[in-house]
Amino acid sequence: MTQPPFPLRDAHLHLPEHGEQLPSPDLTRCASVDDCLTIASRAIEDNTTMRADWTVCEFARPSSWSEERFPTRAELDAITPDRPLVVRSFDHHSASANGVALERAGIDPGHPETDGEGAVWESAYAELLGAIPERTDDEERACLIEAQRDLRAHGFVEVYDMHTTPRCARTLLAMDRDGALELAVRLYATPDAFDEVRDIVGDGTDRVSFGGLKLFTDGTLSGRTASMLDPFVDHLPGHPHGCPLIDDATLARHFATCDELGVDIACHAIGDRAVRRLLDADEHLATALGRTPRGTLRLEHAQFVHELDIARLAERAGETRRGGSGKQPTPRKTGNEAVRRI
């Protein structure tokens, strides 16, 4: 593989998940539900599992398929009624699953964030993934080693891990002590893991450092869960404007905590309403403090920004260490689908 002429840095990655997904059944080239079912059937026949007895097929783009839908629970049950089988979207915010997987996750057809036919999104999606057994320490290290191998082969020298667990933090530090870590890794943890990861990392090392807090404020355009000012053309039932994932009071509390600690706050924000709420929260905190808040405000993805907020983003970017937008290029294949929906 030809190396780039300069070192690369990935500003938004889920490092152990990247390593775990590399050998998984890949649905990227699928053009239909039938294509997806063929690959899923082969994975079951080959006994391809992610963890324990779970088979997870990755990188589905159902909105680009001829049927414009996930495979149903019944279609996946026809492949295997006894082993958990999941078809996961490339956006990591939605999936579909067979009956045994949904039952282990405790998701019934009446859940507000499922279509009743096997597709799940946002909170139901998180519950589905939560039913998969956690990686062991050895599995975590193997995933990180595999991710590092792939990234180094493409010329990367530094990554920002945007969903760091305590196990991931401990494993990276152990790899660094063992001389096995070749990447610089900056860690961002969600609220449930924030204090523990921060304590584990402490002052950090030359390669491993603590970056700050990671929040999810909305979903995705492809999944129709991005938080939008205007409704989606073909919105999900009960969610015409997508799915905001955090309330204003909680958002304000997290912003204040990061200022107090002087750490960054990285916020997943794809829809224009999500972006606006973050800019509003930052302005409210600055007004209350009478100064620019400490740390960097990172708007992760920012795929759809209202024209009235572009100047506000530019103003943040011009402030020292305050305001950055990690814009996510949208491939034409999926970008066209998203544009039709907004």
Cα–Cα separations (whole angstroms), residue 214 to 21, 194, 196, 206, 267: 22, 8, 14, 22, 6
Express each pLDDT in 261-310 by its tens digit. Answer: 999 999 999 999 999 999 999 999 999 999 999 999 999 999 999 999 99
What number of other Cβ atoms are within 10 A of residue 184's Cβ? Answer: 17
Could you say which DSSP state residue 94 is in?
A: E
Q: Sign of the CA dihedral 31, 32, 38, 40?
A: positive
Closest CA to 185 of 217, 147, 216, 153: 147
* pLDDT of res. 149: 98
Distance CA 58, CA 46 (A): 16
* pLDDT of res. 48: 87
111: Cβ contacts below 8 Å, ≥ 6 apart? 120, 124
Segments of the chain scoring below 70 in pLDDT: 1-2, 318-342
Q: Are 90 and 79 in contact (CB under 8 A)?
A: no
* pLDDT of res. 4: 73
* pLDDT of res. 320: 46
Q: For residue 310, how many C-alpha atoms fall within 13 Å in the half-sphere facing its CB?
A: 6
Angle at Cα 312 formed by Cα 311 and Cα 317, nearest 5°?
Answer: 95
Q: Is the pTM of this model over 0.95?
A: no
The first and second tokens of residue 238, run together, are: 């009960």
